[in-house]
A and B are shown apart, each in its own frame.
Chain A
Amino acid sequence: MEFPTIFSVTENEIDLNDLLARITLTSTGAAAIFTGMVRGKTTRGDAHETGYLEYEAYIPMAEAKMKQVADEIRMKWPVVEGIAIVQRIGKLYPKTPTVLIACTAAHRDTGVFEAARYGIDRLKEIVPIWKKEVSPDGEFWVEGDYIPRAGE
């Protein structure tokens, strides 16, 4: 049987309950969910406040790379059942969820936590999405530091 894999870039609100239901099978007993949100106040490192973040994506490539991340998760953790990878784009204000990675499995001790962690780490490396930070002091594009290698 085919395990469900969901990947999307959307301007709509991320609906955790809906996504979770779609990756829960009768054999599922555990889900590890990571979600990130806009942080209004940063204290670690360069302390600053954020008015909002404006996200953009190269949508067709982003969805293809999300599929690739899901494929990599399945190679590393074949026990993972459902996978959902969703990035919200547009203008997003503090406290708003921006990204969700969820992996389901039969049991919690199967690597499902590590699978979700891997998913968010890889998304931040290879999926073509960018955010512009906007505050009363001005605006700037946030740039990552990962340079993909051949085949990624």
Chain B
Amino acid sequence: MNHVKLLFFATLRDRAGTKAMELDIPAELTIQGLKDKISNEYPNLRESMSSVLITINREYAFDDALIPPDAELAMFPPVSGG
């Protein structure tokens, strides 16, 4: 298992009801695998998984990316700064 930190921002934080959580995930889990896991375990977040942006260690990551040990992950909607 890998231990990772998952941060939430904006709508994802509101729906998750928390800013951050720590997770134990299987080694070799991909971003798609993480989305599936979150959809199953957190029904409030299921709807968000189709459009969410996900980062690994502060870089944008895509569905087939593998999550490394001790990663800092984040989930958020398309950005709206300015």
* Interface of A toward B, CB cutoff 8 Å: 36, 55-58, 60-62, 64, 87, 98-99, 120, 123-132, 141-150, 152
How distant is the Cα of A150 from the Cα of B55 in the complex, in angstroms?
Answer: 11
Q: Name the interface size band of chain B.
A: 10 to 19
14 A-B pairs with C-beta separation under 8 A: A56-B10, A58-B7, A58-B9, A58-B76, A61-B58, A64-B58, A123-B82, A124-B79, A125-B79, A128-B76, A128-B79, A141-B80, A149-B60, A152-B60
Interface residues of B (CB under 8 A from A): 7, 9-11, 14, 53, 55, 58, 60, 62, 74, 76-82
User: In terms of DSSP, what is the predominant structure of the interface of chain A?
Assistant: mixed
**Contact: A124 with B80, CB < 8 Å?**
yes
Please state if A99 and B81 are interface contacts (CB–CB under 8 Å). yes
Q: How far is the CA of A87 from the CA of B55 in the complex (A)?
A: 21
